[in-house]
Structure 1
């Protein structure tokens, strides 16, 4: 029996070869494997009945969405997870599994620093991540996060849990995500322990992030970082989404709001400069937030549920 992801990969390779007329060499370069591996995959696709005269598999629908999203938004890779008929909890878990599988398979041996943001979706990714031996890797939190509520989804905790799964090490950013004043933020950022981790965050090889909608299903609101007055002000400023507690507008530009000036963590400008950013997102309520993040060119890889992917293609 093939796993869902194995089937998806076989369909993707077969689609590029038989439908898009790519050479095995071109596909090998895109997928990141040798040409003989692609040859074996094409043979396997026939063996399991995925390829006959045409490609037939339920994953063909999601693979087509993946390719359309790659082309439309200039992404290096997209994973669309079939979630039709799933409950919200099942969707989140499936996205977590896909994110964990992707990270495990695509994380190259030369990656030394992996940055991680925070949130319930990334928590699922970490939960689903397999135990491995990657002693050389260090996990870096990209945003602060302290307190007694929802500790399990804070960046420090996720960095610790993921490092444990990878048998690697982690850094800690001993600061809240958002502080009371800009002056306090500047004082904290001047502290040696905090400034050192913020510098580490700017140099990670790969960043794993979630995307939030401040108005619907907002974890920031449920934790208490956002009050109704904040939401009203953000709406007036045109904020449609947030990454690592940094808010941006429908064009993907950071909004000029006092909250953005009180966040301790990687800025959106620095995020854009990283080599590889993997966004893991679920839920059609985040549609506008994802569109804006893509317009802002913050992502290189997108792992997303089928319904939201379909909406992005049709946008």
Structure 2
């Protein structure tokens, strides 16, 4: 037989021998009495005719499908999705922190520096990261942070905890995250200690960040960085997302607002020296914020849950 047969019975037989009996194409060729290339073509035809259909029986198949869709939609290097199972927000963040830590831990042998932002997602990443010795690694805070409230979420504290876990070296950014006085900010960012750390942050191999909604359930407002008046003003200016505390509008452009000029930190939306930016984010209040941040192109790897991922697919 030199051509592909249309005999359905024979196509089914070849398919069963290959997929159920585990025979190689060469063994089937000898058994049926046709060349191996013909067996290969018969298997292809069986797929085209619907005789063979593949199903992956695992709940992760659904999340993998979402991952692939989001990677294509936003041009991301990788998307990592956790099945939600209707957990509380805090529990979901713990799982996302674990997933992000696994992703980064695989890269430690090939990188020299990691930048740490601030917030709940980043905090869960640091908490989940396993203790291991990585003395050649250097940890850098991506934004300032001083004060008495929620210090466990500040970039410097998270940098310290992370460096201790890895027995790594670290730099610290001894400055507030926001300075309302232009003159004071200028003096601070021009000081060698602060300017040097900011330059390190602009050149890290991997940056770990969150994505925030500055006007709805804002962590920045919760910890006292933003007042009610600030939140209202940001809303008036069209702010829909913040990345490392820089505020962007619905088009992914930095808004012309005084608060953007007050930040002492690395603007990851403008940096192309950072090799990989990993964002940890989820929640109904962050759907638009995440969409805008992902469209901006600043994020390379997204870690989220299936509910949030599905909404990003459905709503945008």
Tell whether 2:259 aligns with 1:262. Answer: no
Q: What aligned pairs does 1:110-259 form with structure 2 within 5 A after superposition?
A: 110-259=110-259
Distance change >3 Å, CA 230–CA 272, structure 1 → 2: farther
CA contact (8 A) 1:272 1:297 kept: no
Distance change >3 Å, CA 272–CA 213, structure 1 → 2: farther
Corresponding residue SS for 1:127: helix
5+ residue gaps in structure 2? Answer: 1-52
**Dislocated runs of 4+, deviation >2 Å:** 268-273
Tell whether 2:305 aligns with 1:305. Answer: yes
CA contact (8 A) 1:247 1:255 kept: yes
Query: Aligned Cα RMSD in Å?
Result: 1.5
Give the C-alpha shift of residue 53 in structure 1.
4.6
Give the C-alpha shift of residue 84 in structure 1.
2.7
Distance 2:121 2:90 in 1: 10
CA contact (8 A) 1:210 1:243 kept: yes
CA contact (8 A) 2:269 2:296 kept: no
Distance 1:132 1:216 in 2: 37
5+ residue gaps in structure 1? Answer: 1-51
Corresponding residue SS for 1:209: strand
Whichever of the two has the greater Rg, that structure is 2
Q: TM-score, normalised by structure 1?
A: 0.81
Tell whether 2:289 aligns with 1:282. Answer: no
Q: TM-score, normalised by structure 2?
A: 0.81
Distance 2:218 2:254 in 1: 18
Distance 2:56 2:68 in 1: 15
Counterpart in the other structure of 1:73: 74
Size of the aligned set, in residue pairs, is 264
Distance 1:129 1:310 in 2: 27
Q: What aligned pairs does 1:1-20 form with structure 2 within 5 A after superposition?
A: none
